[in-house]
Chains A and B, each alone.
Chain A
Amino acid sequence: MAGLEVRGAVVRYDGTTAVDDVALDVARGEVLALLGPSGCGKSSLLRAVAGLEPLAGGTVRWDGDDLAGVPVHRRGFGLMFQDGQLFAHQDVAGNVAYGLRVQGLDRAARAARVGDLLDVVGLAGYGDRSVATLSGGEKQRVALARSLAPQPRLLLLDEPLSALDRALRERLATDLRAALLATGTTAVFVTHDHDEAFTVADRVAVMDAGRLLQVAPPATLWAAPATRTVARFLGYQAFVADDGHDLAVGPAGLRVADPVPDGAAVPHGAAVPDGAAVPDDAAVPYDAAVPDGAVPGTDGWSARVVRSVVRRGRPEVTVRVDLGEGVRDLVALAAPGRVPADGAAVRVELDREGCAVVG
């Protein structure tokens, strides 16, 4: 098996087990995202692969060679940190050239390669800048160029975009994918953001509580989450029984039935005038959540509107509803321009395009 091969990996810190019997393969040229909530052990696994944490059990191999006892600097694995960890006493070019100097490249070759890499990360001409003058996004670009420069046989990225704001993160994720493809780099990318994982990776490994739950390409993972935990972590908001299947309801898996049924206007006889303040949750008590006589079924559920927001041009309606797991607040989409009033009784139904069968 070419590439990275992790078998039965265990990492422990002072008695607690951070990584518990993990097996993972990454083929040469592949980009794998390690996705999981914070504290699930994904960073520990990454550090163990890099050689920064000793394994309490199991093996890490590259192209079949066991790396036990091979120190960090001889593994040929690059590592990029969440906060870059640039060397403050060197300028941008000095940082990018660090690994090249270690390899003993001569000055001309170094300068050429630094120029190429600054091009790849979109920072051409930044070589003389002091790293203190860079913005957060620029620092991460320099850190990426620095990790790519020595042509690591495997690049490990530890939440490289998490410290950045949302818009920048989305743009950099795309740029990162392009840079990894352009340099043909094998990479393991740790993140807690599924959008980021899906943007960057060929395959996504979902991890929770020290164990790997599922490894699959993004589309497969999304279409067929292996367990409810995986589904929940990907953003599926509820589960319903459907023909003996366990159906996960995605963020776009519920919609407000159109048209809104007659006589379902406002509870307690109190009209909510236009422009009135959005009632907080207390204004819609749980015992008043589901109107009497509501019959849950395949053609929909009775629900009560808690509040509505318009996100990316589409109304998202938070409804209080019981899909069979108890009364919960879930998000249902509504057609543009058809936003029900807060407190209104509505029917919601499944949109199967936004749902997936678990297992």
Chain B
Amino acid sequence: MTTRRHLPGAPRAGRVLAWRTGWVLAAVVPLAFLGLFFAWPVAALVARGFVADGALDLGGFADVFSDPRTWRIIGTTLGQAVVGTVASVLLGIPGAYVLYRCDFPGRALVRGLVTVPFVLPTVVVGVAFRALLATSGPLGFLGLDQTFTAIVLALVFFNYTVVVRTVGGLWERLDPRAEQAARSLGASPARAFRTVTLPALTPAIASAASIVFLFCATAFGIVLVLGPLGYGTVETEIYVQTTQFLDLRTASVLSVVQLVVVAAALLVANRARSRRERALHLTSGTSARSLDLRTDAAPLAVTAAVVLGLLALPLGTLLVRSFEVPDGWGLDNYRNLGTTGGANALSVTVWEAAANSLRTAALATLFAVAVGGLVALVVSRRPRARAGRRALAVLDSVFMLPLGVSAVTVGFGFLITLDKPLGLDVDLRTSGLLVPIAQAVVAVPLVVRVLLPVLRAIDPRLREAAATLGASPGRVLRTVDLPVAAPPLGLAIGFAFATSLGEFGATSFLARPDTATLPVVIYRLIGKPGAENYGMALAASVVLALLTATVMLLAERLRGDRTGEF
């Protein structure tokens, strides 16, 4: 009992105080970031709609809601979201079964392939579906180019992954013995599924459906690229009203409408998620059995059709057609990426835009991971006081908001508030930091969602065990929390980077012509006439897709066990 260095029992008030201050700072820094770069710009934009000549004026609501166009747009938005969600869920459940409940050679590869669409930039997806469905494309005979159906197909393309991964993650861990018990009581496979498995999966399905609904209702790039002329959702209408008609009042009212829809969807998602976390305690182990070609024929057929027809075909078409040149096949489109396009469509070459993209995405990732990491760390604590726990729950929800608020709203809000932030004489609009900050705001919720479940899953007694072995609070963070959070931290970095690379809504507002990013130049290229520009758009989309896929692949490699969401 002599070797151990025991410190005197005198209270170390100074150290404790410093530690507490550190936690408070860890909560305040992200809040300040979110307040300055999200709440304030959005509030300022919304307020512009309600304040006329220095007085509150709610006349905007009456005007906007008496316009039949508004109701048509709300109807389109809800219709698009409902159809997209239902289709994603119906196709996703068989996919979850095949990819998470069954075992077959190449499963990991197919799982990886299914993940790709979710992280692809919306503009790339839009261009890929155009390449597939346009009259000159392989499926041109269907006449689906720039229709509601095309938009829904693209939305399913995106959100299929969300359903498969969310539902599959739970299904994989469901104890198969409950279903076996039902079978032994005389239930047919279909009846056992309907009465035992499906009810157990319901929370995950509800959670996935509400998230998909959110993504479908706020889709921007896809609707802009694939929508027929005059087609508008709330999100695109906000964009049109602010940029083309400069009607801030209408845009503000629509932003409020969107906030209501988003808040409702988030509420449902939150409820479903907490139910799912409870349900998970009842389950154990993973249990996949090998795929049976006879009994699993139906789900297998559906999954194969979706993976090949809906996921692989548009991407394959995009790749193939990027090599199409007026007089046959060649690398001309890729060579042209070093130019500013036909008739100088752009201010920068596509390669310069790619460099811009990488630079802004790197900065955005830095901000998003720093802020999101702090939020996840703070929210994962379990304070003794009830008030503290409640405060953390609020903090958790608040940081989910950017997930649903229109990126267009954020982008435009930046323009009107950040000329002199907090009265300081720093015009952030010209500093080059604006785009990365806006992208970080969009990426923070994803970072939190990836890291938080992992940090929460650490048994608090593990930290206590380390403390009783003499580890200081800082050392506990470093030796207990960090090793567990490191693999998902890699994934969070990947997600943040991929999201920033593909971010279009806010960036399209904020990027100046000479700092345009890849999604922005792709959108400009397909908007300009000329086969050369269109070919360049295809080639640039391939480059952007490859960049994103590479980043995600690296990130997935870094991650071991899957505990987080998405």
Contacts and interface: CB of A to CB of B under 8 A. Distances in A.
Is A bound to B? yes
Interface of A: 14, 50, 52, 54, 62, 65-79, 81, 85, 87, 89, 98-99, 102-103, 146-147, 149-153, 156, 184
Interface string B42-66: 0000000000000000000000000
A156 B1 CA distance: 16
B8 interface: yes
A72 B5 contact: no
Interface of B: 1, 3-13, 15-16, 384, 386, 459, 461-462, 464-473, 475-476, 479-480, 483-484
Contact of A78 (B5, B12, B16, B469): B469
B201 to A, nearest CB: 28
A147 B465 CA distance: 9
Contacts of A151: 1, 3-4
Contacts of A69: 10-13, 16
Given A71-B12, A78-B469, A147-B468, A87 B480 contact: yes
A85 B459 contact: yes
Contact of A65 (B8, B12, B459): B8
Nearest to B476: A73
A73 B470 CA distance: 4
Given A67-B9, A85-B459, A89-B484, A72 B468 contact: yes
A85 B11 contact: no
A67 B12 CA distance: 11
A83 to B, nearest CB: 8
A262 B4 CA distance: 72
Given A98-B469, A99-B469, 5 more contacts: A72-B468, A76-B6, A102-B470, A147-B469, A149-B469
A69 B17 CA distance: 11
B11 A153 contact: no
A70 B1 contact: no
Contacts of A76: 4, 6-7, 470
B471 A102 contact: yes
Contacts of B7: 70, 74, 76
Contacts of A52: 464, 467-468
Nearest to A105: B3
A77 B465 CA distance: 11
13 contacts: A52-B468, A69-B13, A71-B12, A71-B15, A73-B473, A73-B475, A74-B12, A81-B465, A87-B483, A103-B5, A147-B468, A151-B4, A153-B4
Contacts of B471: 73, 98-99, 102
A68 B12 CA distance: 10
A73 B4 contact: no
The residue among A54, A62, A68, A98 with the most chain B CB atoms within 10 A of its own CB is A98
A103 B4 contact: yes
B5 A62 contact: no
Contacts of B13: 69
B280 to A, nearest CB: 18
Contacts of B11: 68-70
B468 A50 contact: yes
A87 B459 CA distance: 11
Contacts of A73: 467-473, 475-476
A104 B16 CA distance: 22
Given A102-B470, A151-B4, A81 B461 contact: yes
Q: What 6 A-B pairs come out closest when comparing CB atoms? A: A69-B11, A65-B9, A99-B469, A79-B468, A72-B467, A102-B470
Contacts of B462: 85, 87
Contact of B468 (A66, A77, A87, A89): A77
Contacts of B1: 151, 153, 184
B470 A150 contact: yes
Contacts of B461: 81, 85
Contacts of B472: 71, 73
Nearest to A89: B483
Contacts of B480: 87
A102 B8 contact: no
B12 A150 contact: no
Given A14-B386, A85-B462, A85-B465, A70 B4 contact: no
A70 B472 CA distance: 12
Contacts of B6: 76, 153
Nearest to B469: A99
Contacts of B468: 50, 52, 72-73, 75, 77-79, 147, 152, 156
B9 A70 contact: yes
Contacts of A87: 462, 466, 479-480, 483
Nearest to A84: B465
A181 B473 CA distance: 31
A70 B12 contact: yes
Contacts of B467: 52, 71-73
Contacts of B10: 69-70
A191 B384 CA distance: 25
A73 B463 CA distance: 11
Contacts of B386: 14
Contacts of A14: 386
Given A66-B9, A76-B470, A81-B465, A71 B16 contact: yes
A99 B459 contact: no
A70 B470 CA distance: 12
A72 B9 contact: no
A103 B4 CA distance: 7
B470 A79 contact: no
A79 B16 contact: no
B12 to A, nearest CB: 7
**Highest count of chain A CB atoms <10 Å: which of B386, B466, B483:** B466
Nearest to A101: B479
Nearest to B4: A151
A89 B561 CA distance: 12
A232 to B, nearest CB: 31
B54 to A, nearest CB: 49
B62 to A, nearest CB: 49
Contacts of A79: 464-465, 468
A142 to B, nearest CB: 12
B334 to A, nearest CB: 44
Nearest to B470: A102
Nearest to A186: B1
A99 B472 CA distance: 11
A169 B388 CA distance: 40
B451 to A, nearest CB: 16
Nearest to A149: B469
A98 B4 contact: no
Contacts of A156: 468
A78 B465 CA distance: 8
Contacts of A66: 9
A123 B470 CA distance: 24
A78 B476 CA distance: 15
Contacts of B484: 89
A72 B5 CA distance: 14
Nearest to A90: B483
A34 B134 CA distance: 78
A109 B460 CA distance: 30
A149 B4 CA distance: 10
Contacts of A103: 3-5, 470
Contacts of A72: 464, 467-468
